[in-house]
Each structure stands twice: as C-alpha cells, then as structure tokens.
Structure 1
Amino acid sequence: MFKLTKSDDLQFAPLRTLDDFLLESARFQLPNFKDLDKWGNRVSNNLLYYQTNYFLMSLIIFAIIGVIHPIKMIYGICVSSVLILIFWYITNESVTASQFKRKHPIVSIILVFAGIYLVMNMLDSMLVFFLGILLPFSASFIHSSLRLRNIKNKIANQAENYNLKQTPMGFFLKELGLKPELF
C-alpha cells in the first residue's frame, strides 16, 4: 500500500523563505467558497509547495504548547496512548476479553469505571495534547486556503504532478486520492 520503488524515491521540498511564506511577497485572499474545486486545488498545491514550512510550523506550535503545559502534554500523550492500546487489544483479542468479562464480571465493571474516571480526571490533559496536534493542522489548512499561488509555486507543482520528483506531501496526497489534476 505505501511502498516506494527506486524510481519514486522521496525528495524533501526545500524550505521556502519567510518572505515567500508570510511576509512581503506573500499575497493572501479569501477563497471563493462557491467554487470548491478551485479552492481544493489551491489548498493541495500550497500544501505541496510549502510542505517543509508547514512541517516546521507544526513542530514549533507543538513545542510551544508543550513548553506552556509540559505536564498536561505528557499526561495527555500517556492517556491517549493507553486508550489506543486498550482499544487495539479489545478489538484484536475479543475472545480473550469476552472470556475475562464472563469469568470476572465485578473486576470488569471496576476496570470500566476506573477507565472512565481516568479519562474524566485527565480530560484537560487530553485536550491540551489534542490542541497540540490539531492546532498545527488548522494553521496549515488556513494558510494554504488563504495563500495565493505565485509562478514558482505553479512550476514546482507541475514538476510534482509530472512525477519529476516525489515529495512526502505529494505521496501522502496521492495515497489519499487528493492530488490535484493536471491543468
């Protein structure tokens, strides 16, 4: 599913200048919400062109939230990981889990209530962790929606579309079926 051949080796896109990304040469405009195809092309092309900037911005935002709330971030990561592992175990080992539930109903109820208590007690930590994950995605989507494309952006996207180079974001968008059509 996610295999690359030798001809499709990933190349990392260059880091675009701050001037190109945000400052003087950058032009921003609200997208035409009535033309979803054009808006989608703008978003996917900007995601391809500024992918290294978005990755760096995401790391910085996640780190800032982690510095502001370090303990809540660590607790949020731990609780989310435990919940994911429990979900994975229950879905993959349903026979064992159902046998345990039949043999030890009181212990099962106590474990469920302990899990609910843990989630409710650590809800603020989980929200801080999810904010650290979702805020970078939101910031990247807002920037890619508002940023108008320039000539360098269009040329770089055409090279990506013709598979002259394969970048991580291009691979990700292609796997999701969101890669823009050639135009």
Structure 2
Amino acid sequence: MAKVELTPVRPWDDFFPGAERFAKPDVRDLAKWNNRVVSNLLYYQTNYLALAIVVFLIVGFLNPLGMFTAMAVVSGVFLASVWAGENKAAINNFKRQNPAAFVFAVMVASYMLMSLLGSVMVFMTAITLPLALIFAHASFRLRNMKNKLENKMEGAGLKRSPMGILLEALGQQEENLQKIQTFLEGKLKE
C-alpha cells in the first residue's frame, strides 16, 4: 500500500482559468456529476485546503470562541459517524447504499448540535462557506487529462492522499474502486 502524500498545489491558471474550463454539470446524470466532483476533490485537494484555511482563519479571527465550538462539534460528529459506520452494520449498510444521504445526515447532525450551542452563524460561515465554494468549483470545473490520470492512480491504490482517505471514509470511493476492479478482472480474463 502506498504512503499518504499531500498532492502538490496546482497553479492558479490551472485551478481557476477562464470560463472555457468550466461548464454546468449535467444534473440529470448524477453519477457523472458525482464522478466529476470526486475527481476534482482529489486533484485540487491542496488548493481547496488553502481556500478553506483562508476562510477559516478570517472567521476564526472574528469569533474565536464560536470557531472553537464549531470545530469541536463538527469533528465530534464526523468521528462518531465514521466510528458508527465501521462498527455498526446497519449504519455501514446505509452508508454504502446512500453515500450522499449519509453525508447529509452528518451535516444535519452537526447543524442541530450547533444550534443547541448557539454558534450557528459561525458554523454557517466558517464551515459551510468553504464547503460551498469547494463544491461549486468541483462541480463546475471540467477535468483535464492530468486530473484523470492522477485519479486513476489514487483509485488503483498507487497513491494515497488525505482527500482520498476522507472520501473513502464517507463511502464515495467504493464505486470507483469497483469499476477499476471490474476492468482489471476483465483484462485478466482476456
């Protein structure tokens, strides 16, 4: 198994070029849209991390106590969901069958706890704003050949990255791995 490596920062002209490299996703083909998002999350993960840190620091500077509360709640809910997904069969089956619903449930649970603790606006700004920006970029950014090649290497297990591990924990990588496994099995039979 490959060691975990952070991907390099992609150049600004690759990350955010003109309108020719962006297109509206096909909302009728959710599998293709999901594949585009996952691919871009893996390829631009370091750029997304930098974007999230900048927004995070700005909001944290403006409201440090609310930021600490938001970080603790989101981290706790995420860790609890990963633990439950690994140790409880019913939750693991739900995560495999409905990965998007599982992620949504984690987000809703985080929001509910944040509303009880009174830091909803900090949560909405510091956590949701970077996620919304990242999701929008990953949805609209078209993939290039380097992007596709890097993702195949990650999916085949030749490279490991923090985003790949996170997506795997959320159940988003299994479909890609199954496709690669089916492809390799087909080639071996030939």
**TM-score range for the pair, normalised by the shorter chain length:** 0.5 to 0.7
The answer to whether 1:63 aligns with 2:33 is: no
Q: Quick one: distance in 2 between partners of 1:45 and 1:78?
A: 26
Describe the SS at the equivalent of 1:58: helix
1:176 shift after superposition? 2.2
Q: Distance in 2 between matches of 1:79 and 1:159?
A: 34
Aligned with 1:32: secondary structure? coil
* Richer in helix (by share): 2
Amino acid across the alignment from 1:140: I
1:146 and 2:140 equivalent?
Answer: yes
- Matches of residues 81-160 of structure 1 in structure 2 within 5 Å? 123=118, 125-160=119-154
**Which of the numbers 16, 22, 33 marks the counterpart of 2:27?**
33
Find the aligned partners of 1:129 and 1:175 in 2 and give their Cα distance. 22
Aligned residues: 139
Shift in CA distance, 25/49, structure 1 to aligned 2, threshold 3 Å: farther
Unaligned runs of 5+ in 2: 78-114, 184-190
Residue equivalent to 2:15: 21
- Aligned pair 1:169/2:163, yes or no? yes
Give the alignment's Cα RMSD to 1 decimal: 2.9
Partners of 2:144 and 2:156 lie apart in 1 by 19
- Give the structure with higher Rg (CA): 1
1:17 is displaced (CA, Å) by 0.8
Structure 1 residues without counterparts, runs of 5 or longer: 1-6, 85-118
Please list the CA deviations of residues 45-76 of structure 1 after superposition, one character each: whole Å capped at 9, or x if unmatched. Answer: 000001111111111111122234456545x5
Partner residue, 2:40: 46
Structure-2 residue corresponding to 1:115: none
- Do the aligned partners of residues 78 and 49 (structure 1) sit closer, same or farther apart at CA in structure 2, a change above 3 Å counting? closer
- Percent identical pairs in the alignment equals 41
Q: Distance in 2 between matches of 1:169 and 1:135?
A: 18
AA aligned to 2:48 is Y
Over 3 Å counting, the alpha-carbon distance change for 1:64 and 1:170 in structure 2 is same
